[in-house]
Amino acid sequence: MNELMESLARSLGDGDWTVRRGAAEALGNIGDERSVRLLIDALVDVDRWVRDETIEALYKIGEPAVEPLIGALGNEDVCDEAVDALVSIGEPAVMPLIKALENEDVRAGAVEALGRIGDEKAVEALITALERGDGYVRWYAANSLGEIGDTRAVLPLIDALSDKDDDVRRRSAEALGRIGDERAVLPLIDALSDSDCEVRWGTARALGKIRDPEAVESLADALFDENEDVRRISAEALGRICDARAVLPLIDALSDENWQVRRSAAGALGMIGDAKAVLPLVDALSDDGVGVRAEVDKALGMIGEPAVVPLINALMEDSVAMRDKTVHALGGIGEPAVLPLIEALRYPIDTNVRNKIAAALSKIAEPAVAPLIDALDDRDSWVRCGAAMALGRISDPRAVPPLISTLTDGDSEVRCGAAMALGRIRDPRAVDPLISTVEDIDRNVRDRAAIALGEIGDPRAVLPLISAFTDNEPEVRWEIAGALGKIGDARAIDPLVSALGDDDRDVRDRAAEALGAIGDSRAIESLVKVLVDEDWWVRRGAAEVLGRIGDAKTADPLVHALAKGFGGCAIRLPKRGGLSPQ
């Protein structure tokens, strides 16, 4: 061994894992077969990164490493890593591994490696190991035959379903599922009545993979097995087979005591897609098992249009929780739910339900936009109002012109909905129409228009909002103050300062808050005066704003105002003379 190899060999024992990994990488790149034994010894390294790099190095060396690695299969300390390395090497290891099946000490590892390599040359030898091997060698042989997937293994694996070893029977059933040969169906159906529950659930999984309708009735019976895993996996298998005969048994399984079984049953019903499952699935929206409602949502979405009307009926129920769950389900169905949801807006329902319908339509999003725009011209004002709300939630710019037109609708609720929607979309095209709407005859429409202008934040709205600050409704003045604060234009400072003397305490408080948002020092003197307002809530608001502005001149007035009290609220005082007040 030359000097470099000796140095790298020493580095494999270094205390630093990065040095050991680097040494393994270097030996792999050099590719000298003399380093194989050193690398096999390094497979026991305590660090996973070092072991992975060592496996990679042995793969790079290739065929010269095969025999030493096979020998290492008998060492339980490195057996798993040796199998990984042999699998990496692949085809060159196949024939030596087949030969190694004669060696009892390495047989189990050789069987596992052959299965993972997946070369059909190993099938006959693995069948022999399945039939004549000892203990866990037969487990590995069944697994490996399933991984290779060669139909020559079907009959031997069917025979193994009668093996006295529970694990051999289970692994043979699972292997037959992976191979997928229909000859296995009837023997697997018989195995569903095995005395061992793990064999039964392994068999159910196998039948689900083969997807032969012959198994439906037996799997449906297995939904009532005493073992919850058998019931769960049988439900999943029925979903994969997608046969309508399974619908009623799966509906019954929605009431299973185990939430995992209920979740799997819901998923299976979605995959089958039969309309008979809709009402039971809608009822299952109230299930609080982990992930059950999400699976029910998905199932209803997969069933699609037949689920829409029952879900809308559920949306009309009094239960707030049920409404929320129904919205998600309708959103998952998508386009088929759009027109029925719009139609549902006609019925005498409360604002909360309209909001939920709008939320469901917004989840559907783009497919709902054109029908909702059409609905803005509907003869029914509730439909027009709900359509406006939904368009605002979706925020598609195509809705802006029709929503602008809706600002002149004859119904004030519809105009409110249009103004709110335009505020959500925040398109500058809506600014001038909303400015006009601030003068609407209806108070609610005026304050929604003010809110929308604040959301859009366009400075063109500042002077019209200032002009509207004389509105005789305090709620409107309150929203105008908030909008001016959001826009943040200094032209609003003097009107907001004037509003600190408004007759309504909420307007005074909102004006102080808006001045704080603008953050101009010109407002300080007026805000200090508000610290003696008769209403503690207004005093608190002014104090908080002054604290945010942080001007040292306000420290003394704030300290004095503390004596009068702020209703128990904590106020941040600005620094005075370089020190924070104690």
Average pLDDT over residues 197-212: 97
The pLDDT assigned to 484 comes to 95
Which residues of 69-209 form beta strands (DSSP E)? none
Q: Per the structure block, which two tokens stand in for 404?
A: 């602008």
Q: What pLDDT shows up at residue 1? A: 56
Question: 348 phi and psi, to 5 degrees?
Answer: -70, 95
The confidence band for 314, taking pLDDT boundaries of 50, 70 and 90, is confident
Instruction: Kindly indicate the confidence band of residue 399, based on its pLDDT and cuts at 50, 70 and 90.
Output: very high
Tell me how far apart the terminal alpha carbons of the chain are, to the nearest angstrom. 77
What count of other Cβ atoms lies within 10 Å of the Cβ of residue 120?
11
- 41-64 in b/e form (b: 16+ CB < 10 A) is bbbebeeeebbebbbbbbbbbeeb
Is 557's pLDDT higher than 70?
A: no
- The answer to whether residue 324 scores a pLDDT higher than 90 is no
The confidence score (pLDDT) of residue 269 equals 97
- pLDDT value at position 532? 63
Report which of residues 580 and 84 the model is more confident about: 84
What whole-number distance in Å separates Cα of residue 249 and Cα of residue 221? 8
Q: What is the pLDDT of residue 531?
A: 67
For residue 153, pLDDT beyond 80: yes
Q: What are phi and psi of 576, to 5 degrees?
A: -130, 120
Question: What is the mean pLDDT of the segment spanning 209-237?
Answer: 97
36 vs 30: CA distance, rounded Å? 11
Residue ranges of domains in the chain, CATH in brackets: 211-303 (1.25.10.10)
**Of 289-293, 308-312, 423-427, highest mean pLDDT:** 423-427
Query: Are 195 and 163 contacting, i.e. CB atoms less than 8 angstroms apart?
Result: no
Which range, 76-80, 103-107, 365-369, 557-561, has the best average confidence (pLDDT)? 365-369
17-30 helix and 48-61 helix, angle to the nearest 10 degrees: 10
Question: What is the dihedral angle through the alpha carbons of 468, 470, 474, 475, rounded to the nearest 10 degrees?
Answer: 0
Q: How far is the C-alpha of 310 from the C-alpha of 188, rounded, in Å?
A: 39
Q: What is residue 86's predicted lDDT score, i.e. its pLDDT?
A: 93
Residues whose CB falls within 8 Å of the CB of residue 349, separated by 6 or more in sequence, listed in order: 316, 382
| 312 has a pLDDT exceeding 50 | yes
Q: Convert 544-567 to b/e letters by CB count within 10 Å (16 or more is b).
A: bbbbebeeeebbebbeebeeeebe
Task: Read off the DSSP letter of residue 579.
Answer: B
User: What pLDDT was estimated at residue 568?
Assistant: 47
How much is the average pLDDT of 451-475?
95
- How many CB atoms neighbour CB 117 within 10 A? 23
Q: What is the pLDDT of residue 567?
A: 47
pLDDT of residue 379 exceeding 90, the answer is yes
Burial of 527 (0-12, 13-18, 19+ CB in 10 A): buried
- Quote the tokens at residue 93: 């290891």
CB under 8 Å to 243, separation ≥6 — which residues?
Answer: 213, 216, 272
Identify the pLDDT of residue 248: 96
Q: What is the pLDDT of residues 36-90, one digit of tens each?
A: 888 888 888 889 898 999 888 888 999 998 999 899 898 888 888 999 999 999 9
- Residue among 472, 492, 474 nearest 483 (CA): 492
- Predicted confidence at residue 581, as pLDDT, reads 32
Mean pLDDT, rounded, for 522-544? 66
Min mean pLDDT across 58-62, 117-121, 157-161, 558-562 is at 558-562
CB proximity list for 513: less than 8 A, separation 6 or greater: 481, 482, 485, 541, 544, 545
Q: What average pLDDT does the chain have? A: 88
* Res 569 pLDDT > 60: no
Please give the residue that has the higher pLDDT: either 167 or 579: 167
The CA-atom distances, in angstroms, between 487 and each of 202, 453, 454, 520, 523 are 65, 8, 6, 13, 16
In whole angstroms, give the CA distance from residue 333 to residue 304: 5
Q: Which of 24-28, 160-164, 486-490, 547-551 has the lowest mean pLDDT?
A: 547-551
Q: What share of the chain is helix, strand, coil (3-state, %, to 5)?
A: 75, 0, 25
Residues 145, 170: contact at Cβ < 8 Å?
Answer: no
* pLDDT tops 50 at residue 578: no
457 falls in which pLDDT band (50, 70, 90)? very high
- Residue 353 confidence (pLDDT) above 90: no
Q: Which of 237, 155, 244 is nearest to 203 (CA)?
A: 237
CA 95, CA 125: separation in Å to the nearest integer?
10
Overall average pLDDT of the 495-513 stretch: 86
The identity of residue 482, as a single letter, is G
Stretch 194-198: mean pLDDT: 96
- Per-residue pLDDT tens for 262-309? 999 999 999 999 999 998 998 898 888 999 988 998 999 899 889 888
The predicted structure's pLDDT at residue 499: 87
Q: Are 278 and 300 in contact (CB under 8 A)?
A: yes
Q: How long, in residues, is the chain?
A: 582
Instruction: Inform me whether the pLDDT recorded for 576 exceeds 50.
Output: no
Work out the average pLDDT over 229-247.
97
